[in-house]
């Protein structure tokens, strides 16, 4: 009985440390950011708890939400629109001329 309780304590301690250590989200820039984020993510030079979106030129606080914060930024309308612009046209002038062509 005692052995069982002891084993449970070890497991609980292990889980506790795992969540404390793993749960602490710090973007180090070198870490392998998720494939879907790497097109627009960069390390924020001013804060380790933030990541930068190079497309929107915006800092994203990842200290509490971690990947979820990146995820929600990625699906935001503003980001999507800017990503589309970035991917579809190398410059704004090109975008404007191609959209006027579409009007014809
Ligand atoms: Zn963005």
Sheet holding 41-43, edge to edge: 41-43, 50-53, 58-61
The residues facing 60 across adjacent strands are 51
The residues facing 53 across adjacent strands are 41, 58
Whole-angstrom distance, CA of residue 39 vs CA of residue 1: 54
Per-residue pLDDT of the chain (104 residues; tens, 9 = 90+): 666 778 878 888 787 777 665 655 555 544 455 678 988 999 998 998 999 999 999 999 999 999 899 999 999 999 999 999 988 866 555 555 555 455 55
C-alpha pair distances (Å), 39 with each of 33, 54, 103: 10, 9, 31
Please give the distance, rounded to the nearest whole angstrom, from the Cα atom of residue 42 to the centre of ligand 1: 11
- 102 token code pair: 């579409």
What's the CA angle centered on 19, arms 41 and 74, to 5 degrees? 25
Q: What is the pTM of this model?
A: 0.53
Please give the distance, rounded to the nearest whole angstrom, from the Cα atom of residue 35 to the centre of ligand 1: 15
Please give the distance, rounded to the nearest whole angstrom, from the Cα atom of residue 100 to the centre of ligand 1: 26
Please give the distance, rounded to the nearest whole angstrom, from the Cα atom of residue 52 to the centre of ligand 1: 8
């Amino acid at each position: 009985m005692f052995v069982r309780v002891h084993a449970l304590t070890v497991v609980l301690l292990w889980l506790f440390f795992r969540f404390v250590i793993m749960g602490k989200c710090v973007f180090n820039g070198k870490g392998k950011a998720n494939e879907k984020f790497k097109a627009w993510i960069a390390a924020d030079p001013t804060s380790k708890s933030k990541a930068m979106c190079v497309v929107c030129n915006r800092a994203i606080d990842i200290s509490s939400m971690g990947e979820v914060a990146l995820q929600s930024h990625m699906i935001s309308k503003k980001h999507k629109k800017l990503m589309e612009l970035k991917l579809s046209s190398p410059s704004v002038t090109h975008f404007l001329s191609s959209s006027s062509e579409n009007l014809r």
